[in-house]
Structure 1
């Protein structure tokens, strides 16, 4: 499952080694523009190349494309399962009719969701199983106890949480070891550094899995205007991409472009290298549908930032704070619970 030529990071204090840079598959099925049969075929071809490169820490969830993302990955896993460390998530329930979302963490649902993911993925075991969002109506102890039963049965190897509060992480870990904590983290989202979550994970030996480390593509510099978002791109509804906030946030991107140009790297490589430099317990999982962007991101493993560069980026983040929340109001109610 590991390639000795690729940098590795440990998943938690006593967990397995995985590729230091992972891959988030979400955008291959939804959220970042229209998906058709041709794009799915291109995604399958890219997934094979991603394995060949040594990026074998893969992230999906049952709600991405309402199950289609897991089914997409199954097309590759059916012949290359042993080469991938497979992570998926449960807990966000989508209404197939209205498109509405709710959260469920009941023990009964944990088992039902796991069985459904195993079937869609076409695998016997999920390497890392996350609770995608905390259910405020179900004690975390009950949810994690049900997840732990899946470990005993061999259906799941390691457990994770996503966007839970420091207190919830601690309570969950007391029931069964939590190997990984997935959260938005990157140059324009440092929330976990200031509210105890990062410190709690480090105290307990839990790896930080950083999703959207490139600010949902914004920090790459490829997006110049809100008009760049096409049909089916959910970013046009996020507060940070609204007119006014967009232009202000672009100031930080311009500064990163300046630093990256001086160093001879891309902005994506600069940002990912910065995230990985924040600790060897942090594993970013950028996603893309395009081969050139994947290899651009992968190149960040060869970028080493000096202490002066790390300080300069920190100072810029403090000087140009991000405008707008990560999600609309309803989405923000589901994080840090």
Structure 2
């Protein structure tokens, strides 16, 4: 029996979709061939009035929100469909909790994948492909028999009908900071305020909302992410206004704020790092104050290592501030492998923020990547798109706005620019063959390097945010990943990352 005839047979047998989504089944069974079978009694969840919840699993997580204005029957149907689709994307095999403490996924019984009740359709030709997603081994239980739900997916393929549900999906393995799951792509907020021509507040809010509603949760900000001398705190103040406008996103667990600080900002300038107790206290108190009180930062990172005092002293000072409740986790930025190890011996380092992209590979050879793997420290990769060079949108120095800091960097000088552009062109060729974009290929490749990496691309437009998150749907084969590595390794990027003064503060 072909997959097409199977779909037709089941659709007729079960009488599904005769009127919208009238799926009157008592229990939805979602079967995962990864590590066994788990059941979700999502209809009890909907009947009890809960209208939002979350599916999480080994390969990612997804959230569901069903409109309470719909009829109960329609909500049951919509929630059932959402559970199947979301859980299929996740490969979830773990017990999770929906709103109000109701169990969304519960291991009521752990059946064997070889059970005689189950038709195993795991051949590649028996997969239904939707844009960026492949569904395999999805099943429902109706009465006492098991049936695959290819008909469900096929229905939406054929009709292009959208569910009355808000769904967000992250199909790449979750990263964790101190046990808290984070989406695999973060959002760097710097260019919302620290740029010659910042976007309007409306556009900035739209970009942040797009990220959060799509399942993202890591927002990366900084105490000095604004145009000096009078607007250094603009990024924090923008976030404060965002949380005032959308207080639901300030609730615990809705988003995770990492903030860089610890710099002397006297006279409106970004001066040297200050890891003293007084300097750090001033920084963290100012960050939380500027955030407006609705939400504190979760992760505090020294923007650069204070070379005037031992790192052990700095970390001990941070421990005091954690105990006082200013933030939860300690991070470093642009620290050497040795410094990371010494710091981690005093208090667990939750994350290290470094520049990492196909044209900034230093952490692969200087020990930073290795020490983070050894200690299980998340790597927050800033400028993952080579300061925009790898997006495919920059073709000449004239494409960079006047007053942009990139005009001062060696890699963007005319004598280096066109040589470095070759890497971007090579990645663009890969993207064209893949039917993707250079941004998505770059981020997907970066994620494939290590499951501790969280890139934080920083588009100022909602469309750019969507494009970056689209990288989570790009599946690179081992051969494609290898070929991109060959392109990256032969690129021989010209010019250092910063000027001599700032270069001296890297990896110390």
TM-score range (shorter-chain normalised) is over 0.9
Residue in 2 that maps onto 1:114: 284
1:40 CA displacement: 2.5
Q: Does 1:57 align with 2:218?
A: yes
Query: Relative contact order (alpha carbons < 8 A, sep ≥ 6): 1 or 2 greater?
Result: 1
Q: Secondary structure at the match of 1:74?
A: helix
TM-superposition CA deviations, 1:37-81 (whole Å, max 9, x none):
x62331023212221111111100101111110110111223121
TM-score (norm 2): 0.63
Distance 1:292 1:60 in 2: 20
Residues 1:232 and 2:403 aligned together: yes
Match 2:301 to one of 123, 130, 138: 130
Q: TM-score, normalised by structure 1?
A: 0.94
- Based on CA coordinates, which of the two structures has the bigger radius of gyration? 2
Matches within 5 A, 1:81-230: 81-82=250-251, 83-96=254-267, 99=269, 101-123=271-293, 125-230=296-401
**Counterpart for residue 27 of structure 1:** 191
Q: Aligned to 1:76, which of 231, 235, 242?
A: 242
- d(CA) in 2 for partners of 1:159, 1:2: 28
Q: Could you tell me which residue of structure 2 aligns to residue 303 of structure 1?
A: 474
Instruction: Give the equivalent residue in structure 2 for 1:263.
Output: 434
Which whole-Å CA distance do the structure 2 matches of 1:142 and 1:231 have between them?
42
Distance 1:18 1:188 in 2: 25
Deviations along 1:240-285, one digit per CA (max 9) or x if unpaired, are 1001110000111111111110000000000000000011111111
Offset of residue 232 of structure 1: 2.7
Q: CA deviation at 1:92?
A: 2.8
After superposition, the CA RMSD in angstroms is 1.6
SS of 1:11's equivalent in the other structure is: strand
In the comparison of the two structures, how many residue pairs are matched? 332
CA distance in 1, matches of 2:362, 2:313: 27
Provide the residue aligned with 1:45 in structure 2.
206
Secondary structure (helix, strand or coil) at the match of 1:230 reads: coil
Listed one character per residue, the Cα deviations across residues 146-198 of structure 1 (whole Å, up to 9, x for unaligned) are 11112212221111100001111011111110011110001111100101111
Report if aligned partners of 1:125, 1:154 keep a CA contact under 8 Å in 2: no
Residues 2 and 268 of structure 1: CA distance in aligned 2, closer, same or farther (over 3 Å): farther
Any conservation in 2 of the 1:91–1:134 contact (CA below 8 Å)? no
Q: Which stretches of structure 1, 4 residues or longer, exceed 4 Å deviation after superposition?
A: none
Match of 1:247? 418
Q: Quote the offset at 1:111 in angstroms.
A: 0.9
Query: 1:103-162 deviations in whole A, cap 9, x for unaligned?
Result: 211121111100000000123532111111001102111111111112212221111100
C-alpha distance in 2 between matches for 1:58 and 1:319:
33
The question of whether the paired residues in 1 share the 8 Å contact of 2:175 and 2:453 is answered with no
For 1:45 and 1:276, how far apart are their aligned partners in 2?
26
Q: In the alignment, which residue of structure 2 is the partner of 1:11? A: 176
Q: Contact conserved, 2:240 with 2:291, CA < 8 A, in 1?
A: yes
Q: For 1:186-224, what per-residue CA distance to the aligned partner results, in whole angstroms no more than 9, with x for missing partners?
A: 111110010111111111111111110000111011111
Q: Structure 2, unaligned stretches of length 5 or more? A: 1-52, 56-60, 63-168, 227-231
Query: Is the CA contact 1:125–1:155 (under 8 Å) kept in the aligned structure 2?
Result: yes
Do 2:445 and 2:481's aligned partners in 1 also have CA atoms closer than 8 Å? yes
Instruction: Say if 1:41 and 1:185 are closer, same or farther in 2 by CA, change over 3 A.
Output: same
Structure 1 portions without partners, runs of 5+: none
8 A contact 2:299–2:329 mirrored in 1: yes
Q: Which whole-Å CA distance do the structure 2 matches of 1:29 and 1:334 have between them?
A: 24
1:335 aligned counterpart, secondary structure: coil
Tell me, in whole angstroms, the C-alpha distance in 1 between the residues paired with 2:237 and 2:502: 26
SS at match of 1:110: helix
Measured in 1, the distance between the counterparts of 2:236 and 2:478 equals 40
2:457 to 265, 281, 286: 286
Cα pair 2:397 2:414 within 8 Å, conserved: yes
